[in-house]
Amino acid sequence: MVKHIVTFKLKGDDAVRKEYSMKFKEALMALPAVIPCLESMEVGINENPAETWDLVLTAVVPTMADVEVYAKHPSHVAAASIIAPVKDSRACVDYEF
């Protein structure tokens, strides 16, 4: 199994970042129902004002190859487009467990 963990830093004021984070979370949480290799999805919106990252997702897929299948799936691409206008930074770690 592979954990795919991604953090996002968004641009804009608190209200804008929160709005985009909520829309993105909703879209991401719908993905396990439409992407067969996606075993699970967890999305967290940062609540600590002392931190600068806005959002984290943890997806679980069976293999490293499935990370690419998930990433290229049209539903994932559509979800990612939600935050494209406000995405400042992205960091990712993929590891087998």
16-32 pLDDT per residue, tens: 999 999 999 999 999 99
DSSP 8-52: EEE-S-HHHHHHHHHHHHHHHHTGGGT-TT--EEEEEE---TT--
pLDDT, position 70: 98
- What does the angle CA 86 – CA 20 – CA 12 come to, to the nearest 5 degrees? 45
How many Cβ atoms sit within 10 Å of the Cβ of residue 22?
A: 14
Query: Per-residue confidence at 73, pLDDT binned at 50, 70, 90?
Result: very high
Nearest in space to 5 (alpha carbons), one of 72, 95, 93, 97: 93
- 0.75 cut: is pTM over it? yes
| pLDDT on residue 54 | 97
